[in-house]
Amino acid sequence: MKRKFLTFLLTLAAVLCLCFALSACDSGNGDVEQGNAQQPEPEHTHSFTADNVCSGCGDKWNYTAGLQYELNNETDTYTVIGIGEASGDVTIPYGYQGKAVTSIGENAFRGDGLTNITIPDSVTSIGIRAFEYCSELESVTLGCGVTSVGDHAFEGCNGLTGELKIPNSVSSIGDVAFGDCSGLTGKLKIPDSVTSIGKEAFSGCSGLTDIELPAGVTSIEIGMFYGCSGLTGELKIPNSVTSIGNYAFMDCSGLTSILIPDSVTLIGNWAFDGCSGLKRIELPDGVTLIGMFAFEGCNSLADIQFRGTVKEWQAIEKESRWNSFTGDYTITCTDGTIDQEDNVTYFEQ
């Protein structure tokens, strides 16, 4: 009996040592070869057809019934044109009657009582005013096929909350597309695929705290972020931008610093008017025009860093009251400084 018990203990000890050794190998750093250890299979990516069935695994896309559609004879695809008998949470199908659903039409859900909307990858365009004033709408899931978001598409959807996720497929965002979506919060990251953002596209989105602009945009249009008072910290304009439009960042009172790249030549009227928290601005020597009231009401402004000479600063066309009601700032040029209070220029020795 004792011999059997001793044999059992020895066997158990050997098993424990082996397990410990295997565990030690598994927890090694990335340079340790893992041998023939089985790797987890990659997660299945669904590929749904116009029949709303995944061609790979046969899973079905659970869409909302009762929506209204219109057939486009030229493309032989369907557009969703109305909410029909649906309500509440709505999921757009990949297809209808065996043909792909590729767009959401103008005014399709305007003012309807949607609470959540899921848009599939088959949809490439969201029409003008498609979801305008859907004030009960809480969340939007944009499919990875969407390339354009139309004018006023989600304007006034002030029930939308959380961060807005814009897929890499999107290339254009229309005028006032997300205007007055005051419930959106956190960081807005606009992917580099976007090359066109319309006027007042995100105006009144007062809950946004940070924005990352795409590298392909060449102009900040009129009122693009007007009234985004929740934006804080430093704003970096991408190197692709050549002009900042009228009212572009008006009343963005939480911004403290603005970095304007060498590519910018024009700053529009009222561009940063009312940015009361703004303390520091970096301006390039290529700027030729600063519009009227451009920095009006920036009463915390203390430091303007100009990447050019005093003479180049003085050559910039500055329209009336571009700097009214600002702080007592100093302009630092490459060869001297200009004091705002007494307009005295100090040259470096």
Its sign, for the CA torsion 198, 199, 205, 208, is positive
Rounded Cα–Cα distance for residues 88 and 80 (Å): 16
Judged against a pLDDT cut of 60, whether residue 195 lies above it is answered with yes
Strand order, beta sheet including 303-307:
233-236, 255-259, 280-284, 303-307, 330-333, 336-339, 344-347
Half-sphere exposure of 122 (CA within 13 A, CB side): 26
The mean pLDDT value for 206-212 works out to 97
For residue 4, what are the contacts with CB-CB under 8 A and spacing of at least 6? none
pLDDT reading at 257 higher than 50: yes
| Six-digit token string for 246 | 């009228």
Residue 22, pLDDT > 50, answer: no
Q: How high is the pLDDT of residue 50?
A: 86
Structure tokens of 327? 């702080």
- Check residue 171 and report its DSSP letter: -
Instruction: Please compute the mean of the pLDDT values over residues 291-305 and round it to a whole number.
Output: 97
Report pLDDT digits (tens) over 152-168: 999 999 999 999 999 99
| pLDDT, mean of residues 172-176 | 98
Residues 176 and 199 sit within 8 Å (Cβ to Cβ):
yes
CB pairs under 8 A, 24+ apart, for 77-84? 77/101, 77/102, 77/103, 78/102, 79/103, 79/104, 79/105, 79/127, 80/104, 80/105, 80/108, 81/105, 81/108, 82/108, 82/109, 83/108, 83/109, 83/112, 83/114
pLDDT band at 44; cut points 50, 70, 90: low
* Confidence (pLDDT) at 234: 96
- Over the stretch 284-295, which tens digit does the pLDDT of each residue have? 999 999 999 999
Residues 96 and 72 sit within 8 Å (Cβ to Cβ) = no
Cβ-Cβ contacts under 8 Å for 125 (sequence gap 6 or more): 102, 103, 104, 146, 147, 148, 150
- In angstroms, how far is CA 136 from the centroid of its own chain? 22
Query: What is the enclosing helix (H) or strand (E) of 13?
Result: helix 2-26
pLDDT top residue among 40 and 249: 249
Question: In the prediction, which pLDDT does 105 show?
Answer: 98
Q: What is the pLDDT of residues 217-251, one digit of tens each?
A: 999 999 999 999 999 999 999 999 999 999 999 99
136 pLDDT higher than 60: yes
Mean pLDDT of the chain: 88
Comparing 108 with 40, which gets the higher pLDDT?
108
pLDDT in tens, 72-131: 999 999 999 999 999 999 999 999 999 999 999 999 999 999 999 999 999 999 999 999
Query: How much is the pLDDT for 34?
Result: 34
Res. 12: pLDDT tops 60: no
DSSP character at residue 164? -
Confidence of residue 30 (pLDDT cuts 50, 70, 90): very low
Indicate the SS3 state at residue 72: strand
Is the model more confident about 208 or about 56?
208
Please give the pLDDT value at position 295: 97
In this prediction, residue 349 has a pLDDT band, given cuts at 50, 70 and 90, of very low
pLDDT of 347 reads: 52
In this predicted structure, what is the pLDDT of residue 141?
96
Going by C-alpha positions, the residue among 71, 118, 80 that lies closest to residue 99 is 71
Query: Which residues neighbour 99 within 8 Å (Cβ) at sequence distance 6 or greater?
Result: 50, 71, 76, 77, 78
Task: Give yes or no for residue 331 having a pLDDT over 60.
Answer: yes
Exposed/middle/buried for residue 158 (C-beta within 10 Å: 0-12, 13-18, 19+): buried
* pLDDT computed for residue 348 by the predictor: 55
Q: What is the 3-state secondary structure (H, E, C) of 238-288?
A: CCCCCEECCCCCCCCCCEEEEECCCCCCEECCCCCCCCCCCCEEEEECCCC
More confident residue, 110 or 9: 110
- Pairwise CA distance, residues 3 & 257, whole Å: 80
Which pLDDT belongs to residue 175? 98
Pick the range with the lowest mean pLDDT from 8-12, 149-153, 234-238. 8-12
